[in-house]
Structure formats: C-alpha cells, structure tokens
Amino acid sequence: MPETITVEKVETAPDSKGGRRSKKRSTKGARRAMRLAYRTRRGMAPLYATAATALAGSALAVPADGWKTALAATAAGAVTTVAWGRWDARIGKKKLRKKRLPTRNDFIAAASAVTTSGGLVTAMAATGGLQPGNSPYPALLAAWGIGHGVYWWRRGKRTAAPVIDLTEQMKAWHDNVAGVDGSLPGSKLVNVVTTDYGWTGVIVLKKGNWRRAVSAMNDIAGDLDLPEEMLQIEKAMGQSAKRAIIAVFDHNPLAAGTDYPGPQILDTKTGQAKVGIFYDGDPAHYAFWKPSGPVHSVVYGATDGGKSRFLDMLLGTERHNGIVSWVCDPQGGQSLPRWREAVDWYEDTAQGGLALLYEARKVMYERSARYSMMQFVDHKGRTLRGRDHFVVGDPDPLISITIDEAHRVLALPGAVALLFEIVLMSRKCGIKIRLVFQGPKANYFGSGPESTDIREQLQSGNTVMFRTASALTDSIGLPGWEVNPSQLPMYWPDKTSTAGLGYIKGPDNRQAQFRAHFDRDPAHWATTGTAATIEGSAAACLGKAYTERLDRLAARLRGETVVLPDDAVPTPTAPAGDPVAAATAAIEAEAPAGTDDTVHSFLLQRGRPVGRNTIAQETKLTVSAVKNALTRLKRDGRAVAVDRGIWAHPDHVDAATDTTDLAEAA
C-alpha cells in the first residue's frame, strides 16, 4: 500500500506581509526625499549646511580629542577658501585658473561661513556636542544659518542668469549670420556657453581673419535682432586668426562699475596697475613702467567721459607708491583740484605747464650725464659703467608728468619742439609723460612739424580712449583697432552716466570694452601718505620755477596774484625758429640758487687749482651744475681755467696743482 505524505499548508501571517509592504514604501519614500533634496540643493543649501554643522559637532564630541580634528578641518577650510577667492596664477602666458575670481562680497561671505562654522564645530566637539536644553549651541546654529542664508538667498536672486536656449541662438546664427545673405557667410558658432550677463561663444570664419568679424559687429547685431551696445566681438587671444570671441549681453556687466580699491592696484615688481575691468570681469592693466623704463601715456575723452576721475586714481596710486608727480591743470586747477597741495609740483596755467616742461628737460640732462658714468652690476654679476636704462628707485624715483587739457600748453611758442625732445629722450632718464586731450585730432598736438611724432610716440605706450565726440578720429587714436569709441553710449538704460567706459591699449592689448575703477574719495588718497620729491642732485640744477613753487602755491591760496619768475620760460638767445637750442642756451645762462657762490667759496678755500670732478664731489653738486657754474664765474672774472678741466680762484692761479687733479683732467 503506497505511503501517504501529508503536507501542511501554513498561512503567512498578515502582519509579516504588511511589514514587507511597509519596508518597500519607506525605501521608495527615502528615494523621493533624496531626489527632492538634490533638486532643491541650491535654495536649501544654508539649511543643509546648518544641519551638517550640528551633526559634525555632535560626532566629533564622542572621541576625547575630537576638537583637534575639528580645528584642523577649520584651518584647512580657511586655506582652501583663501585659495579659491584670491589665487590666480599663470605659467608663462598660460592662465591656470579657468574661471574668474569671485567678487569681494562673495569671498568675504565664504570666508565668514567657513571660519564661523568651524569655530562652532570645534566648540561643540570640545564641550560635549549640541546638548539641547540650556546649551547656547542651538541658538548659535540658528543664528548662523539665518545670517548666512539671507546673504545666500539674496545673492541667488540677484545673480541668477535667465535660462537661454543656446540651441536657438546657434540656429539663429546659422540662418541669419552664416547664410548666403548674412554678415559672415559660411561661418560657425561654437563653444557657446551661458554667462552671468548673457552668453558667449567662438566665431569660426570661413574666410578672412578675426578683424572681419569685428568690423561686421554692427551688422551681426542687426542679423540677430540685438541692440548694438549689447554685443561685443574681439580677437580670440592665443587661438587661430580665423577665430573671434562674441559676447552677447542681456545686461551690460560694466554698468554697475567698480570702486577704486586703493594704491595697491600697482604691482611694483612689474610696473603694471589694475585700473579697471573688461566686460568679462578680467582686470584691465595700465603700465607705469617696464624693464626698459617708464611708459608714456595719452588719455582721450569727451566731456563727462571719465578722464578726471581716471587721473585721480593714477595720481593717488603714484602718491602712495613713491612716484614723483608733476601736474599741470591749465583750467585753473578745476579738473584736478585735490592735487594742488598733494604732489611735488602743481601748476594751474598753460604758461606754468611750459615752465614745468623746461625744468623737466634740465632733470633729463642732469640724470643722463650722471647715468652715463654710473657704475652698476648687471644680471651676470659684472660691474659695468654707463647705464643705458632706468631702474625705478635705483637710485632715483620715477617722475610722472601729467598735463590735462594739454592742447593749451602745446599752443605756446616752442612747446611742441621742447616736448618732442623730452618724449624721445626722457624714458632712459626715468621721466614719464602723460598728456590728456578731448580727442586725437592733429591740431590738439600743436602746429609744429613734430606734433604728429609726439602723438605717435605717446600712443605707442598706454592709450586710454573713453567716449569721444567724433567718429572721424576713432581710428587715429587707436590705429589698427576695429573699435568705435565715439559710438559708446553717454547713459546706461537706467539713465546713469557711462563715465569711465572705453578702450585701453596697454599690456592686455584687448580690443574690448573696459570700465575704469571709480575713485569715490580722491581727497582721502590726496591727504594721506607723503608726496615723493625729486633727488637733491636734480633739484640743484633747477631754477626758481621749481625752487619757489611752494611759495607761489601759498600765495595763490592766500588769494594773491601769482606771477612766474622771469627764468621760468627762458628768453630765447638762439634763432627764434629753434626753441630747443633756445632752451639749451637758457639753461647754460641760468644760475641755480646758491650754486655759483658754493663753487666760488670752494675755490677760495682750496687755495690752489683743482679739477672739476673734485669740485663736484666735495660740494655734493652734479658735474653739469659745476660746469655751468664755472662758465658763469669765468665770465664774471671770479674763476680762471688753468688747464683743461682744472680751475682756480683768481688769487691762486700760480699755485701748484695736485697730481691727482691733473690725472683726472687728462
């Protein structure tokens, strides 16, 4: 009989089945919560950060030395934040940082969040964790989260860029710009990305180079149905000549402007200063000097273009960096009034500006004579004599001469030829010329044959061109550049001034709009620090126009009528058609205060003939000053030339001459 097997069926308990369903529901709910948290990560970031701070403090309170870990993490976070906010390095011409630096406010907020949260975590780790109840930590965490959250939420609302359909932009380019009837037939738009101000991309031309794209910028704006001022095209630096960068704005990023941060904008190692920003946030540089010497400059701009405030920034930078500033404001001092008592020499008339140039010429030749015999050690450690370049501060300071409304000075007789000589020769002697005009018209530079040469020499250095009044002169001020400063708007859409908006040709060499920093308080920089002055040897060769400058300034401030000394602008003793020769004759005929008497007294006390170089060494005068003084003393019968380079008082002509002096003269 077959064996019967009985199988008992066991029913699954209802609560067990319900448990499995409950587990599935909770897992699904957790995933949904995680997805929601991820989608809202930007808006809820302050809440998440507060919760993470509380959890970290409680977790690190468990081990006895958890506070040490918290302290180390805080230090590492602070270092990382500083690197994120201020690190911007290059290797050669390659820029290591791809993204621009954060704004000052964002950097401060990030540094505050990292250091204060680290402090809270360290304190909780050292005292036992969050400790709800009477502990102050819950309230401190809430305050921390609200304080930083408010900044985070306001910032997100302020800087969130509108969503742009880049596909639509590229299609519009293909249909309207790159088409047969478009501005750039056959061109391509690549690498299109959104920015805080709109979008940017790279134009790849089918024929020609990047200049073709720049010259067609206004037509491209029409093809894309955009306002002309909301589009920028420039050369793609370091890329193929067939490529250009295009930037389209939904709002102009330069409209907000930037404040002048202070004289620290000048890098004293390179001689370059960050004087503003380009539309993409990169700094715009202005060169005060380079290894070969000072860099001349010319600044153009119509009324309310921003010239005066730009000069305020440069003069404040010079005052606080040991640069000697000579300033002429022919408009009675109205354009640059803060610097009347804050620079080494200030003149407020055109005639005073001409006197300033004559004195600058004397300094140029005094330094030139001294540098030609100077001993120095070159980069290979060799001791050489005769330096053919200028080194800032070794031994003399850089002299920066600023002449506002320079056309008024250049209209005076002899000014053009005099300035041309200075511009050509002064860089090796440490003298920088900065002229300011309404525009680059030829008649602004005077009527002499050298006027065009002066403009070319100045424009080969820094050229800063704010909004101008004539499209006919745009190409003259920035030759070879495909830009139109005359078409810059006078007002932004919100009716505020665009002062400071323009183009700058300097170390960056970018044909792109920039905006200069705005100096909101030039009086602060003019009344702090100390104005640098020229060296004693240069001052000794100057006339009353310089030595009496402070007395004239004091008289002017008392309301008295000020008259320049007779020797301020020497009377020509050479042919009238040669003002430079006239200046030379005037220098030789001029007697710097006390020099003649000093040399005459030395000869009398010496009691025997002496060499010219010995006189200079003993009296602490320059060789050129001694030479000119001896010439005048000989004419007056107060000194006698005993031999070549040997001089004596008339009473000591027959005395024996030292062998050392004879060898020196030979």
Condensed to tens digits (0 to 9), the pLDDT of residues 284-299 reads 999 999 998 999 999 9
51-92 pLDDT per residue, tens: 888 888 888 888 888 888 888 888 888 888 888 777 766 555
Using alpha carbons only, how large is the chain's radius of gyration in Å?
36
Nearest to 355 by CA among 421, 398, 414: 414
Range name among 88-92, 241-245, 439-443, 532-536 with the lowest pLDDT average:
88-92
Which residues does 608 contact at the CB level (< 8 Å), separation at least 6? 648, 652, 655, 656, 657, 658
Same fold? 166-249, 594-665: no
CA distance 476 to 483: 11
Tokens of residue 204, six digits = 């790849």
- Which positions ≥6 away from 168 have C-beta within 8 Å? none
Fold of 594-665: Arc Repressor Mutant, subunit A (1.10.10)
Confidence of residue 278 (pLDDT cuts 50, 70, 90): very high
What percentage of the chain exceeds 90 in pLDDT? 35
In this predicted model, which residue has the larger pLDDT, 186 or 127? Answer: 186
pLDDT for 458-495, tens place per residue?
999 999 999 998 887 788 888 888 888 988 889 988 88
Q: How far apart are CA 385 and CA 372, in angstroms?
A: 7
Residue 166 has pLDDT above 60, yes or no: yes
CA dist 106 and 94 (Å) reads 26
Query: 228-237, 579-588, 637-646, 649-658 — which is least confidently predicted?
Result: 579-588
Phi/psi for 240 (5° steps) reads: -60, 150
* pLDDT tens sequence across 606-622: 888 988 888 888 887 87
Query: What per-residue confidence (pLDDT) applies to 156?
Result: 62
- What residues contact residue 300 under an 8 Å CB cut-off, 6+ apart? 436, 437, 438, 439, 440, 463, 464, 465, 466, 468, 477, 485
Distance between CA 617 and CA 636 in Å, rounded? Answer: 24
- CATH homologous superfamily of domain 270-532? P-loop containing nucleotide triphosphate hydrolases (3.40.50.300)
Q: Domain ranges for the chain, please list them.
A: 26-88+98-159, 166-249, 270-532, 538-587, 594-665
- For residues 457, 460, 465, 470, the Cα torsion angle rounded to the nearest 10 degrees is 60
The residues that bridge with 243 in the sheet, in sequence order, are 204
This prediction's pTM: 0.64
Residue 21's pLDDT is 58
Spell out the long-range contacts of 554-559 with Cβ–Cβ below 8 A and sequence spacing 24 or more.
556/348, 557/341
Given this model, what pLDDT does residue 270 score? 94
Query: What is the average pLDDT value for the chain, to the nearest integer?
Result: 83
- Interatomic CA distance for residues 294 and 431, integer angstroms: 7
pLDDT band at 502 (very low <50, low <70, confident <90, very high): very high
Antiparallel, parallel or unpaired: β 501-505 and 283-287: unpaired
Position 237 scores a pLDDT of: 85
Hey, is 596 helix, strand or coil? helix
Which pLDDT does position 356 carry in this prediction?
94
Topology of the domain comprising 166-249: Threonyl-tRNA Synthetase; Chain A, domain 2 (3.30.980)
